[in-house]
Amino acid sequence: MDEKQTLRIRDLGLAAALISLGHNMCNTDRDTNGRSYFIFTQTKTLERDVNNFWADSLEVKARKYFDDIKMLKSRIYGER
């Protein structure tokens, strides 16, 4: 069976940027301390965009990014 590799991301800004770029978030998860993680399917494009985010060279549409942050926050706080 071909199991897909995933990437667990804890940073809300990074997760929102990746969603704004069209990356598919598979799931969310919480650790025993209650911290939320955003789980994405690992791809070369995802890896490139993560690196560009940390290098401050990633560009997203501002309103879409803001809406995606709100959506993720709703998802986090709705799970509690």
Looking at the predicted structure, is the pLDDT value of residue 80 above 60? no
C-alpha–C-alpha distance, residues 28 and 38, integer Å: 5
Which of 75, 66, 67, 61 has the alpha carbon at shortest distance from 21?
Answer: 61
C-alpha–C-alpha distance, residues 14 and 7, integer Å: 12
When mean pLDDT is compared across 7-11, 29-33, 65-69, the lowest value belongs to 29-33
pLDDT score, position 79 = 61
- Which pTM was predicted? 0.88
pLDDT score, position 45 = 97
Domain residue spans of the chain: 6-78
pLDDT score, position 78 = 82
pLDDT score, position 1 = 43
Q: What is the mean pLDDT of residues 37-53?
A: 96
Q: What is the mean pLDDT of residues 28-38?
A: 91
